[in-house]
Amino acid sequence: MTETPSTERAERPLAPPPILYLSTLAVAVILDRLLPLSHWQSGKITTIIGVALALLAMVIFASAWMRFKQAGTHAPHWMPTTSLVTDGIFAYSRNPIYVAMTMLYLGIAMIVASLWMLILLPPLLIVMQLGVIKREEAYLREKFGQPYIDYCARVRRWV
């Protein structure tokens, strides 16, 4: 089934969040090759933690995506939001998909033992906050008004 684009404006993030996370991972891999910081090697414990984070991230992502589908709204940024989702996983975090992306990123960093990935995570989160989340919040506040403001007062942005 294809969805026809709406004439209503969708929010405009700085860049799509998956692109931001993948780009940061790519930069970290390049920096690991060009300027290795240490000889940290992923051991059994860090690998187990990394895999657990990655698996939990996938569960959170799937839960959020299914909740969007059940509500009949869109997750992609280029599609207008049609309803405010505040239950399910969204009752615990306003941005569970971004939480999942961050957990997956951390899981990968632990599995491959990349200090560069860890170093680049705070700048990535700042870009997400200012370039994506703030814009998304402004769009949702404009679209849904007081119900969204009440939701923001009730539920934390991340966790």
Alpha carbon distance 115, 110 (integer Å): 9
**Residue 10 pLDDT grade (very low, low, confident, very high; cuts 50, 70, 90):** low
Is residue 114 pLDDT above 80, yes or no? yes
Q: Kindly report the average pLDDT of the chain as a whole number.
A: 91
**Residue 60 pLDDT grade (very low, low, confident, very high; cuts 50, 70, 90):** very high
User: Which ranges of the chain does DSSP label H, i.e. alpha helix?
Assistant: 17-34, 44-71, 96-112, 115-127, 134-144, 146-154
Residue 25: inside a domain: no
Residue 135: inside a domain: yes
Q: Tell me how many domains the chain contains.
A: 1
pTM summary value: 0.89
Distance set, CA 11 to CA 3, 21, 68, 77, 137 (Å): 17, 19, 16, 6, 9
**Residue 75 pLDDT grade (very low, low, confident, very high; cuts 50, 70, 90):** confident
pLDDT at 5: 40
Task: Supply the range of the domain harboring residue 53.
Answer: 38-154
